[in-house]
């Protein structure tokens, strides 16, 4: 019997959860599911440039597990690109950050927004669009380490 999967920490929810080749209806494409922990591994290793050991620490998993997750993500992304398949991002045993802090570059106002609500379009104080994530909040975790302090399973939708 296999061991239960440990919870993986994920720092963001992607704005887009589906990618597909242009000009082909989704109904005629095969779909590959990339889990949130696989996307987080790609973000940490490939986008942020972290070594696997540091990235594994950020996700609260072993370096070996991180390597397996990253390898699986690379295979799935490669298959989607080379074979012209759709890529859907969802699912996995993950713990999300509770809130994100944003700061206005014009009036220097900072505010928090709940995780999963999308990126704010403008500063609530001066309506400027010159906003960014606060560096002090990147990678941070709220009280209890997540929304509910527990790992939660992101459901994968059944494809028909």
For 103-114, write each residue's pLDDT tens digit.
898 898 888 776
- Measure the CA–CA gap between 101 and 110, rounded to whole angstroms: 7
What's the CATH code, domain 99-138? 2.20.28
Asked if pLDDT for residue 138 goes beyond 60, the answer is no
Count other C-beta atoms under 10 Å from residue 139's C-beta.
13
Calpha distance 18→32 (Å, rounded): 10
Confidence of residue 34 (pLDDT cuts 50, 70, 90): very high
- Indicate if the pLDDT at residue 134 is higher than 90: no
Sheet with 152-154, side-by-side order of all strands? 8-10, 92-96, 152-154
67/103: higher pLDDT: 67
Tokens of residue 151, six digits: 């790992």
Please give the pLDDT value at position 92: 66
Confidence at residue 100, expressed as pLDDT on a 0 to 100 scale = 75
Per-residue burial over 8-27, b if 16 or more Cβ lie within 10 Å, else e, is bbbbbbeeeeebbeeeeeee
Does the pLDDT of residue 25 top 70, yes or no? Answer: yes
Instruction: Supply the mean pLDDT for the chain.
Output: 79
Checking if the pLDDT of 70 tops 50, the result is yes
Give how far Cα 87 sits from Cα of 16, 38, 83, Å.
11, 12, 11
Q: Is the per-residue pLDDT at 150 higher than 60?
A: no
The structural domains of the chain, with segments of one domain joined by +, span 1-97+143-155, 99-138
The beta strand positions in 59-120, using DSSP E, are 86-89, 92-96, 99-104, 110-114
């Amino acid at each position: 019997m296999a061991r239960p999967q440990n919870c993986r920490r994920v720092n963001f929810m992607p704005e887009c959860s589906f990618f597909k080749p242009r000009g082909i209806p989704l109904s005629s494409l095969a779909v590959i599911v990339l889990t949130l922990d696989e996307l987080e591994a790609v973000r940490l290793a490939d986008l942020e440039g972290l070594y696997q050991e540091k990235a594994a620490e950020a996700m609260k998993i072993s370096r070996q597990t991180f390597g397996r997750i990253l390898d699986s993500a690379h295979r799935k992304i490669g298959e989607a690109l080379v074979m012209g398949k759709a890529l859907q991002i969802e699912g996995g045993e993950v713990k999300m950050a509770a809130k994100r802090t944003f700061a206005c570059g014009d009036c220097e106002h900072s505010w928090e927004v709940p995780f999963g609500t999308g990126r704010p379009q403008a500063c609530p104080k001066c309506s400027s669009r010159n906003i960014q994530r606060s560096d002090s909040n990147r990678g941070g975790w709220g009280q209890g380490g997540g929304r509910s302090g527990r790992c939660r399973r992101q459901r994968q939708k059944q494809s028909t």
